[in-house]
Structures are given as structure tokens and as C-alpha cells.
Structure 1
Amino acid sequence: MSQDASHFDGLLARLAGRQALIGIVGLGYVGLPLALAGREAGFRVLGFDINPARVASINAGEQVISYIGAEVMQAALKDGGLEATDDFARLSEPDVILICVPTPITKNRDPDLSYVAATAEAIGKTLRPGQLVVLESTTWPGTTREIVQPVLERTGLKVGADIFLAFSPEREDPGNANFTTKTIPKVVGADDPHSRDLAVKLYEQMISKVVAVSSAAAAEATKLTENIFRSINIALVNELKLVYDAMGVDVWEVIDAAATKPFGYLPFYPGPGLGGHCIPIDPFYLTWKAREYDMETRFIELAGQINTGMPRIVVDRLAEALNQATSKGLKGARVLLIGAAYKKNVDDTRESPSLVLMELIEQRGAACDFHDPHIAEIPETREHAALAGRRSVALDAGAVQAYDAVLISTDHDAVDYGLLADHARLIVDTRNAFARRGLAPAMLVKA
């Protein structure tokens, strides 16, 4: 048996027998659920994170993500099956290393692959024959081959022979109780058959369905396509909302009626803007890469313009509603924003339009507080540093009555909408939260 076949066959056997040690770099909203899925499948998991406090919390079995209970964490830690560390020198230990680090964009909407590059460098320092590396972070087609592979091969080890490399896009939907890491089909691509076979074997042990594609680039493009599809369709309904509103037509009623068609239509819903780690960011990875091929991505860029412009439109609508209700407009008003998270029922503020709304409201001369049952305090962010440390206010009748307007940005289920309906002077609802609950406040404006 050749040395190349020995590396492949040995790792394949350990994966099939669930004897391999899985390493996961990045223990956030993607990496931690993946670690738990690996644990549930019977693998031992070693997680890596640059945040020592997060590492300590995970090793203590504490709840670090709102929808993953402490009991789940503690069960995963039993018998040493899950361990977290900030010691990246231990990257030599795992048989498989899954990269789950952020891929943000710059202010100019260019890809920021610094986390991916730094992780590849860290892996390269301890890389040994027989290891499989899988990039899960969303990125442009070609990243695995053009960015990660050269770093790994600088060691003298060759992908497909000594070591193995694949791409499998994360498909997490935080807070979605209908789908878990285990039940969402996993796309896997690699540029050589050995790497692809090993990655497929790994995920087959953990995920209910694995879909293999011909290359890492095809897998990278798959994730971008999914999120671009959502971005463009959300932009479409945001634009329709503005048009139908001018005509006196309720876009929410129209969408619900259109959704009764059993074919040829998928419902998407408007809102105050896009948030989260995927949809506001990922499309611009393709627009950036397309320029290398002298290609224009007009649909994608137009959708981005519409979606990023929604917070200003919402604030304009809020100002108009205040002017009609109180005759004093936004300047000097007190506004209560409902929801700081980017989507309902999660504690994640990444790219949240709520943070943009707060800043825009205050730029217009109003005071803005927020209430969020999942976020006690706004964390530090690069884009909204001035908001860090602000705390969620409690909801009660007296507090609600003290505000000139309540703006619904994130429609968490845990919010007391009945209280708001009964006591708010004015409600501006960007999520159709009250109509969906059969509530009809006296002063309600949809925006």
C-alpha cells in the first residue's frame, strides 16, 4: 500500500468507526451547534476559539447561545467528549479540522478573509499527514483552492495525497426550531476524490443527508446562491411594500393571498432592513469576485441598495406618523424600539437593522431606548460602537405610556404585544406583528 493510500484509508476507517477526533475552529452560532452534532454522533470534539471567556464558559457547561440550554452543554461534556481550548498549538491533535470563522465585508463591501487566512496559517503550523481540513465559512467561489490550499501546501504536504481539503457551507438558521444542524442537508465539495470521499464520510455520520458536488468552488457557489436568492426576493417585497403602500394596498395581505398558490410562488416578507451573518454580507462576495471576470451583478447590487436603504425609509415613516399623531415630529420625541436582535427569538445583533434605526432616530433629534427579551445589553460592534453597553428597558404600562412612539423592529414572540396595544400612544410596525396576532391598537401605522 502506498503512503498516499495509507493516509486516506486510515482516516476513512476512523471516520467510519467514529473514532476520529474532530476539531472545530470558531465556537459561535455555526461552530458550537456543529460541535454538538458531532458529539451526538459519537465523535470526540475539540473546539478552538480565540475568546478565553467563551472557552471557559463552554468547558463549565454554561449556556452561551440562547437556544442551546445548559443541560445540552453539560451532557456533551460528559466523559471528556467535548472540550474547548484557546491553545491553537493543539491543532495537531484532531484528525479533522472544520473552519467556522467569520467572513465579514469591509466598509467598501469587499470580502474580509482575514479570519480564514489566520486560521489557515495556524493550522499550517501544526499540520500533519492524514488530516482533513474543511472550510465552512461562507465565501466566494475559489477561496478554498486559492486561499487555504496554498497555505497548507507550504508545509510540503500535498492536498489529495498527504492531507485533504474540502468545502462544506454552513446552513445554520439560528432560532429555527423546525431544523437543526443534524436535519439540514449538507453540501460537500472538493477538488480531488479522496478529499471529497473523506468529507462525505465525515458528514454522513453526523447529518441526515449529504449532497456531494464536483468541486469546492461549486459548494462555495451553492451557499452564495441560496443567500442571494433570499436577498433579492426580500428586496423585491420591500420595494413592493413601498409601491403598494402608496396605492393604499396592504402588502402583507397581498403576500398571504399570493402564498395560497400551490406552485410558482414562495412567500418573502418585508422588514426594516437585513441583518445577521449571511444575507446582508454574502451576496457582495460574489459581486467582488465577478469583477475579476469583467462581469456585472446588477440584480445583486440593486437588491443590496434597496435592503440597506430600508432603515432610512422606516425612520421617515416614523417621523411622518409622529407628525400626524402629535404634530411635533421626530425631533424631541421619545421612541421605544422593540427588538435589538437581527431576527426574532435570537440574541444575535450582527448586522442588525435595529442598531441602524437607533442611530438614525437619534440623529434626527429623538431619544431612543430599546426593549429586547433576549438581549439585556448591546454588545460592542465595529459599526455601532457608541451603542455598546445600552441596556434593555423593562416593559410595563407606565413605561410604555411615557414614549411618544413604539417602533417594532424585531417581532420576538416573548414580547407582550397586548400590553403595547393597550398602552402605546403610537405604534409603527415593520413586521405586521399586531395584525398577525389579531390585535388592533388605536394608533397603528405599518411601515
Structure 2
Amino acid sequence: MSMSVPRTREPESGSDCHRTRLSDGRGRLAVWGLGYIGLSTATAFADVGVQVVGFDPAEQRVRSLTGINSRIAVSSEATDVLAADCCVHMIAVPTEREGEPFDGALSSVIADIAASLTKGDLRGTCPLVIIESTLTPGTTDELLLPILAEHGLKVGRDLLVGLAPRRDWFLAEGYSLRELDRVYGGVEARSAAATRAVLGLVNNILHQARTHHTCELVKCVENAFRHMDITLANELTLAYPDVDMVEVLRLAGTKWNIGTYHPSFGTGGYCIPLASRYLIRGAEHPEYLGLLRRTVETDDQMRLLVADAVRARPPVVILGVAYKGGIKVDILSPAKSIARSLRDRSVPVVVHDPLYDNAEIDGLLGPGLTTDDLPGALRSARSVLVIPDHSEFTGPEYVNNINYPREETLIVLDNHGVLADVAWADHVIYKRAGNKRWLDTEEDADI
């Protein structure tokens, strides 16, 4: 049974009213979720003069972000982003849990906003909600709009709803939020126009999807293509173990219409590993998505194959919890599933990442996998797995301890090739993912 919505005042009209309120200081921008995506959103808008309030339920994260920017207030209390002057709400909450699509956090945020629109500080303000999180196709119609309807809310009258999934890459020059093309959409025309106006503050190139259904699909489809290509690179290394597939793929990438892909321990991060799962889950006829199902299966298999390759050569040191170098993001990192697989088989393993302290690693993987003596662990290891391409790993505190003289052969498997140019000692057998027989460690006899 729907409720009637009390209206305290008529909202401003015009597609750019939300942008105007942000720009002239009469309104603030609320960011839900202060992970990598949400924090970068908050910073981008603050950099153009917008007052921002960010919410995250993790109190430790909020404490670490307090005072980072005079224009950004952070809080672990949802009431602080449900204030009447918060005219735009950017939602950047996780839509993944334990490697699968998960809508719990997203539905909770929408329910909080809806409740505040019916009886709280947002009542009658007609805020703009822009969802930056990646959605399973169909989520807007099947989950979000019904929540709003349960509160008697109508998009276009009581609030505006836009979608604008993030696709920028944070570490490479020229791939920032402002520089990259961005796709957006709205549930109806007014929502789309307002979304474009607000995003124009921080994005130079915007492409409108005709419907919000299209917008949901675009992010999933573009990353599913990458997921399949990367997984094919891994399947090729398994099918042709006597060939250096790194070189083959490098040469194949010289063709004008083919990208260069690299074999790996498996994909990681917010987007690529989940894209195929989102599409399978949201499809009307998932039975036709056999390629995506195989992609998911092979990607999961790679982590186990890497663990199998070194379990007979303990002790093992895993360098890196993050999935990619230079960023403190461990979402679906291969390191986590590899470490758990080895631990579950009672293989002695130590995990270290220069961006994480031991308490953080213990929180992610459980206690017992960290050490206060990394040099000692590296000097006694028989296998070292290098997961992200952290630049720190090329430093002497890592290389010298791996090269430290020992009687037994040491296997180094390098996911991204960050250590490919190191002058290795005779006892070190170094292999980058995709090199000839890179997963074959049993044939390497001790010295």
C-alpha cells in the first residue's frame, strides 16, 4: 500500500537547477560510499568548488578521511547525508559480495533516501540521485523503482534518478574522470537532463543512453568483452604450455584492430571479474551466454592452478593483496583466493603488501598469514608469488632478500611482470604469467 507524499514546497524547475544549487553554494552533494570510486567522486566535485558530504558505514575509513579536503565533510551517520540542502546524491556503494552480484547496500541506500523523502529532511526537495555503482541489468526496474513506489514516490515528480557507472582508470595519465568518455542515462527525460548538467561539472565528454536499461547494460558489456579477451589469453597458455604466450600476444597486439592482452593469475577489481556475472544474472535468456559462463569458470580456475603450482614447494610468500599495483584495492584480488587455498591445504604461506598493515591483512584473510620478519620469510621461501605490480617490489628490500644465497631453488611467479628486468641469482627461477611452462614447477630440481 503506497503512501501519499507530503509536499512542503515546490522544487525549482529546469534541467540545471541542481547544478546551479551546487555551484552557488545553496546545495551540497552527498556521496554514499567512500571507497575508491566514491572518494574520487567527492574529490572531483570538491575541486570545482562544490561542498560535499560523504557517508560510509566504516568508522575507521571515515576517521582516516577526516580533514582530507576543506570542502569535504565525512561521516558514518546516514542522517548527515539526508540533510535538506543535499540536493544531489551520488551512490557509489559496492554491488558485489564474495565474488557475486549483491544489491543489499544499494537497496538500503535507496530505502533511506525514500524514507527521508516521505517523512524526513528531504521531504519535498526533489533531489537528484545518480547511481555510479555497476548494476545487474534490470536492477532499476526490478528493485529500485519498486522501493520508491512502496514509499509513494514517483520519479520525475518527487525525485530524479540517473545512472552513470564509472569507467575511469585511476593510475594512467589521460584516463581520469574528467578526460574519459562517460555514459549516462535517466529513468525519464528530466532525470537524464539533470544528470547531464551535474556530471558536466566534472566530465568533459558525456554520452546519453536512450533508456536506463541501455545504460545498465553498457558498463557490463564493455567489461565482459575485456573479461573474455583476458581469459582467452589464459586459456592459450594452458593449451600451448611450451610456447611463451606473452610474446605471442605482444606480437598479435601489433595488428591495428587487436588489443594486447596478458596472461595472469586471474582478473581482479570492481569491474572485470563481475561483468560476466552481472550479464548472466540479468539476462532474459542466460542459456545463450555460454561464452560468458566459460569465462567465469576459467577465471576462477586460474587462481587454483597457481595455488596448485606452488603448494608442493613451501614455504610460500605472496607479495601483494591488492589486485593492481599502486592502489589499495583488494576487491576480488587473486591473492585472496590463492592464499586461502594454500592455507586450507595446510601449506605454510606468508602474505605481505606494502600498502596494508598486518592487522588489515589479518582482517581480510584471517589470522596467521602475516609476519613481522618479511626478510626472513623471503630468505627461507621456496616459492614467491608476486600479485600486483607495486613499484615497491623492485626495491632492494625485496629483490636482495629473494636473491639471498640458499641451497634450494626458488621459484618466482610474477603476475604482471614487475620484476622481469631484475638480474636474478642462479638459484632463482623467474617466470612471468604466460611464459613457457610458467605453471610447471615440479620439473625444477633443487640445487
Q: Do these two structures clear the TM 0.5 threshold for a shared fold by scoring above it? A: yes
Compute the displacement of 1:392 (Å).
5.4
Q: Is it true that 1:56 corresponds to 2:63 in the alignment? A: yes
Q: Deviations over 1:153-191 (max 9, x none)?
A: 444342123321111102243544553233232211013
1:165-204 paired onto structure 2 within 5 Å: 165-176=161-172, 178-204=174-200
User: Against the structure 1 CA distance between its residues 400 and 435, is the aligned structure 2 distance closer, same or farther, given a 3 Å change threshold?
Assistant: closer
Aligned CA-pair RMSD: 2.7
Q: Is it true that 1:299 corresponds to 2:306 in the alignment? A: no
User: Against the structure 1 CA distance between its residues 196 and 386, is the aligned structure 2 distance closer, same or farther, given a 3 Å change threshold?
Assistant: closer
Give the Cα separation in 2 of the matches to 1:266 and 1:9: 39
Q: Is it true that 1:279 corresponds to 2:272 in the alignment? A: yes
Aligned length: 409
User: Against the structure 1 CA distance between its residues 374 and 386, is the aligned structure 2 distance closer, same or farther, given a 3 Å change threshold?
Assistant: closer
Compute the displacement of 1:420 (Å).
5.3
Compute the displacement of 1:370 (Å).
2.2
Q: Deviations over 1:408-429 (max 9, x none)?
A: 2233211136425633741232
SS at match of 2:390: coil
Q: Could you tell me whether the CA contact under 8 Å between 1:408 and 1:427 is conserved in 2? A: no
Compute the displacement of 1:445 (Å).
4.7
Instruction: Tell me what 2:391 maps to.
Output: 413
Give the Cα separation in 2 of the matches to 1:95 and 1:350: 31
Give the Cα separation in 2 of the matches to 1:56 and 1:411: 28
1:303-382 paired onto structure 2 within 5 Å: 303-319=295-311, 329-330=312-313, 333-377=314-358, 379=360
User: Against the structure 1 CA distance between its residues 411 and 420, is the aligned structure 2 distance closer, same or farther, given a 3 Å change threshold?
Assistant: farther
The one-letter code of the counterpart of 1:190 is G
Give the Cα separation in 2 of the matches to 1:33 and 1:352: 21
Instruction: Tell me what 2:370 maps to.
Output: 391
User: Against the structure 1 CA distance between its residues 386 and 267, is the aligned structure 2 distance closer, same or farther, given a 3 Å change threshold?
Assistant: closer
1:258-277 paired onto structure 2 within 5 Å: 258-261=252-255, 263-277=256-270
SS at match of 2:240: helix
The one-letter code of the counterpart of 1:239 is E
Q: Could you tell me whether the CA contact under 8 Å between 1:135 and 1:169 is conserved in 2? A: yes
Instruction: Tell me what 1:124 maps to.
Output: 114
Give the Cα separation in 2 of the matches to 1:435 and 1:253: 17
Give the Cα separation in 2 of the matches to 1:394 and 1:439: 24
SS at match of 1:303: helix
Q: Deviations over 1:329-379 (max 9, x none)?
A: 43xx21111212212222222222112212222344421112322222263
The one-letter code of the counterpart of 2:366 is L
Q: Could you tell me whether the CA contact under 8 Å between 1:379 and 1:389 is conserved in 2? A: no
Instruction: Tell me what 1:160 maps to.
Output: 156
Instruction: Tell me what 2:243 maps to.
Output: 249
Q: Deviations over 1:31-83 (max 9, x none)?
A: 01100001011111111111223223322x2xxxxxxxxxxx2xx21xxx211
Instruction: Tell me what 1:98 maps to.
Output: 90
SS at match of 1:344: coil
Give the Cα separation in 1 of the matches to 2:146 and 2:134: 19
Q: Is it true that 1:43 corresponds to 2:50 in the alignment? A: yes
1:428 aligned to which of 412, 415, 421 = 412
Compute the displacement of 1:307 (Å).
0.7
Stretches of structure 2 that go unaligned for 5 or more consecutive residues are: 1-8, 118-122, 432-437, 439-447
Compute the displacement of 1:88 (Å).
1.8
Give the Cα separation in 2 of the matches to 1:96 and 1:220: 20
User: Against the structure 1 CA distance between its residues 270 and 420, is the aligned structure 2 distance closer, same or farther, given a 3 Å change threshold?
Assistant: farther
Question: How much identity, in percent, do the aligned residues show?
Answer: 27
Normalising by structure 2, report the TM-score: 0.83
Give the Cα separation in 2 of the matches to 1:154 and 1:405: 56
Compute the displacement of 1:112 (Å).
1.7
The one-letter code of the counterpart of 2:251 is A
Give the Cα separation in 1 of the matches to 2:334 and 2:14: 48
Give the Cα separation in 1 of the matches to 2:93 and 2:282: 20
User: Against the structure 1 CA distance between its residues 133 and 389, is the aligned structure 2 distance closer, same or farther, given a 3 Å change threshold?
Assistant: farther
Compute the displacement of 1:388 (Å).
4.5
Give the Cα separation in 1 of the matches to 2:204 and 2:371: 39
